[in-house]
Amino acid sequence: MLDCSILFFRRCTALTCVFGITASIFTLSAETLELGRVSKSNPPDAVSETVVPTAPVNKPASVDEIKSDTVAAKTSYRLRARDFIRVGVINENDTVIERRINPDGTIDIPFLKQLVPVAGLTITEAQDLLTKRFSRYFKQPQVVIAIVAYAERRVYISGYVGRAGPVTIPPEENLTLGKALSMAGGILARGRRSDVAIKRLKPDGEIELILKDMRKIDSGDEPDFILQDEDAIYVEDSRF
């Protein structure tokens, strides 16, 4: 009787183990199926590609870019020797050049194979002059001139002033005697205000001496005197 009970207990235990293993297999299968669904619904992120920007290729400026490439000059400004300018005909890039105006006021235009006098002309006047020259080669050419760099203009102040030395004339502006003396620190108490001397080189090579009374200019009795490039100003000692 005892042996029969033991045998019955072992069979029950074996069946319990079989049922437990089967349940585990079903559970694993269900988890595997669920993982498969998640994997299909969420594909791996695509590998992003890094785009390396291409460096811009430098190319010569065309005439169409001249207007926006430089600061537009005032219509009253007159070209000067040593101004650095860009010249060209619109839509004709082989005519575009950058040149410094020669000391004699001319500019070399390789396309025209000639020197063209432009110093002393406004931008508009110089463009009209070159338009006539280029008309030999193009029908109704549109010539554009732009100032790349202004020639430095100076006057020189010496004598009884606060800071003797050169004073730069601003581009496209006039510099008066009163403003130049102010930029030089003003006339000292010992300086003679009644006879401020300006030496100016004339086109024929002669030196012109101009005397100005700063007392009258300061009071408004006389208009301020406009200086020119390379003028030399001297303030004498009032004791002599």
pLDDT of residue 61 exceeding 70: no
Largest Cα–Cα distance of the chain, in whole Å? 155
| Ordered DSSP codes for the chain | -HHHHHHHHHHHHHHHHHHHHHHHHHHHHHHHHHHHHHHHHSPPPPPPPPPPPPPPPP-PPPGGGHHHHSPPPPTT-B--TT-EEEEEETTEEEEEEEEEPPTTSEEEETTTTEEEE-TT-BHHHHHHHHHHHHTTTSSS--EEEEEEEPPPEEEEEEESBSS-EEEEEPTT---BHHHHHHHTT-B-TTB-SS-EEEEEE-TTSPEEEEEE-HHHHHHTSSPPPBP-TT-EEEE-BTT-
pLDDT computed for residue 66 by the predictor: 52
Q: What mean pLDDT is predicted for residues 55-80?
A: 56
Check residues 167 and 43 and name the one with the higher pLDDT.
Answer: 167
Check residues 217 and 51 and name the one with the higher pLDDT.
Answer: 217
The fourth-level CATH superfamily of domain 153-235 is: Outer membrane lipoprotein wza domain like (3.10.560.10)
Q: Which residues of 4-22 are buried (b: 16+ CB within 10 A; e: fewer)?
A: eeeeeeeeeeeeeeeeeee
Q: Pairing between strand 143-149 and 232-235?
A: unpaired
Confidence of residue 75 (pLDDT cuts 50, 70, 90): low
- 4-14 pLDDT, tens digit per residue, is 444 444 554 44
pLDDT computed for residue 171 by the predictor: 84
Q: Where are the domains of the chain?
A: 63-149, 153-235
Average pLDDT, the chain: 79
Confidence of residue 157 (pLDDT cuts 50, 70, 90): very high
Domain 63-149 in CATH 3.50.50.60? The answer is no
Confidence of residue 224 (pLDDT cuts 50, 70, 90): very high
Q: What mean pLDDT is predicted for residues 150-157?
A: 94
Evaluate whether 63-149 and 153-235 have a shared fold.
no
